[in-house]
């Protein structure tokens, strides 16, 4: 039996994904078998080679090209524009994993801006029961008043149970049996929901009350308002404050320790050294731009909260 782990990347994110993959491979159990699949649309042959080289005897690296047909209903939608300014279409790939890989009843998805400090097989052992997925509370937004208001008022969800989609243990069988993808597409085309975190908001809404909340050590995110976890199993450099663009980021030492062990270290270090203060200032304001969208969403007739007043939208 293999343990299936998925990443979703665009070509320009390869070097960060390579550091994540290196950290994952480093902590695998040699007695277990792992299959790492990169979901992509534009990954160059050289970057595929770079990632393949990071595999091992028991860690098999594969690639799956997401067709234009799969994402056609999502692309070029005005509701996705703001998030699209900062994120690529690859954020949506995770939603299609259960249908695209019917051989797996359970799988793990992780973002590429992550570092593993523990064997991901331990995460895979999670018993999901009737839950659609296992994930961690989004700790990165708990001290952002605008985001808390958005989750409460516009999504009609509890911020303390609102999950981050950068690490998911997927109950693929339940997703297929209950028609998750069809439900997602129907909601997308019927209501044209405007969201701050499009893919993440849909997952929170559709899977509401069907989420197994996992220990925060499996999705530890830099946060200026809290002390770092002492032994994080998975670190997720969420949103805009990346250690390859900023210094003094919480958990940055884990990234650079692993980066130094890859062929991309010099490129990553040069990227940090050459990143300008103007670019950093722009990054600091990107979250503000995203949060500003909540004022518009609150006034729309088809926001999640208003539609939910008419009846449930969950599976």
Please give the angle made by the CA atoms of 193, 89 and 233, to the nearest 5 degrees. 100
- The pair phi, psi for residue 75, each rounded to 5°, is -65, 155
d(CA 96, CA 37): 13
CA atoms within 13 A on the CB side of 237: 26
Q: What is the mean pLDDT of residues 134-163?
A: 94
Contacts of 9 (CB under 8 A, 6+ apart): 17, 38, 39, 40, 43, 90, 112
Residue 41 has pLDDT above 90, yes or no: no
Q: Which residues contact 233 (CB under 8 A, 6 or more apart)?
A: 116, 117, 118, 122, 123, 215, 217, 218, 220
Please say whether the beta carbons of 198 and 83 come within 8 A.
Answer: yes
What is the domain partition of the chain in residue ranges?
2-308
Query: For the segment 250-282, what is each residue's pLDDT rounded down to a tens digit?
Result: 999 999 999 999 999 999 999 999 999 999 998
Please report the sign of the dihedral spanned by the C-alpha atoms of residue 232, residue 9, residue 275, residue 20: positive
CATH class of 2-308: alpha beta
SS (H, E, C) the chain: CEEEEEEECCHHHHHHHHHHHHHHHHCCCCCCEEEEEEEECCCCHHHHHHHHCCCECCEEEEEEECCHHHHCCCCCCHHHHHHHHHCCHHHHHHHHHHHHCCCCCCEEEECCCEEECCCHHHHHCCCCCCCCEEECECHHHCCCHHHHHHHHHHCCCCCCCCECCCEEEECHHHHHHCCHHHHHHHHHHHHCCCCCCHHHHHHHHHCCCCEEECCHHHHECCCCCCCCCCCCCEEECCCCCCCCCCCCCCCHHHHHHHHCCCCCHHHHHHHHHHCCHHHHHHHHHHHHHHHCHHHHHHCCCCCHHHHHCCCCCCC
Q: Partners of 35 in the beta sheet?
A: 4, 60
What is the percentage of the chain residues whose pLDDT exceeds 70? 93
Q: 68-120 pLDDT, tens per residue?
A: 776 665 554 444 433 444 445 567 789 999 999 999 999 999 999 999 999 99
Express each pLDDT in 277-292 by its tens digit.
999 998 888 878 778 8
What's the pLDDT at 290? 79
Each residue of 191-235: pLDDT tens digit?
A: 878 888 888 999 999 999 999 999 999 999 999 888 999 999 999
pTM for the predicted model, two decimal places = 0.93
Cα 152 from chain centre: 22
**Cα distance between residue 200 and residue 151, in whole Å:** 12
């Amino acid at each position: 039996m293999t343990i299936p782990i998925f990443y979703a990347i665009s070509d320009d994110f390869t070097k960060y994904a390579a550091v994540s993959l290196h950290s994952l491979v480093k902590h695998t159990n040699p007695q277990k078998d792992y299959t790492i699949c990169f979901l992509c649309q534009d990954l160059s042959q050289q970057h595929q080679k770079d990632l393949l080289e990071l595999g091992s005897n028991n860690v098999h690296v594969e690639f799956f090209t997401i067709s234009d047909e799969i994402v056609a209903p999502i692309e070029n939608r005005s509701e996705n524009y703001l998030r699209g300014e900062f994120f690529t279409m690859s954020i949506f790939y995770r939603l299609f994993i259960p249908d695209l890989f019917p051989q797996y009843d359970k799988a793990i998805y992780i973002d590429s801006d992550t570092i593993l400090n523990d064997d991901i097989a331990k995460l895979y052992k999670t018993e999901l029961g009737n839950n659609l997925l296992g994930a961690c509370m989004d700790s990165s937004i708990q001290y952002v008043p605008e985001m808390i208001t958005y989750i409460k008022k516009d999504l009609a969800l509890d911020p303390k149970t609102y999950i981050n989609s950068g690490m998911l243990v997927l109950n693929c069988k339940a997703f297929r049996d209950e028609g998750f993808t069809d439900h997602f597409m129907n909601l997308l085309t019927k209501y044209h929901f405007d969201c701050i975190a499009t893919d993440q908001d849909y997952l929170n809404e559709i899977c509401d009350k069907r989420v197994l909340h996992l220990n925060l050590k499996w999705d530890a995110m830099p946060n200026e308002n809290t002390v770092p976890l002492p032994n994080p199993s998975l670190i997720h450099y969420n949103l805009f404050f990346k250690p390859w663009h900023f210094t003094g980021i919480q958990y940055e030492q884990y990234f650079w320790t692993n980066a130094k062990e890859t062929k991309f270290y010099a490129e990553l270090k040069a990227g940090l050294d050459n990143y300008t203060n103007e670019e950093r200032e722009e990054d600091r304001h990107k979250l503000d731009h995203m949060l500003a969208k909540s004022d518009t969403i609150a006034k729309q007739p088809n926001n999640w909260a208003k539609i939910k007043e008419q009846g449930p939208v969950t599976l």
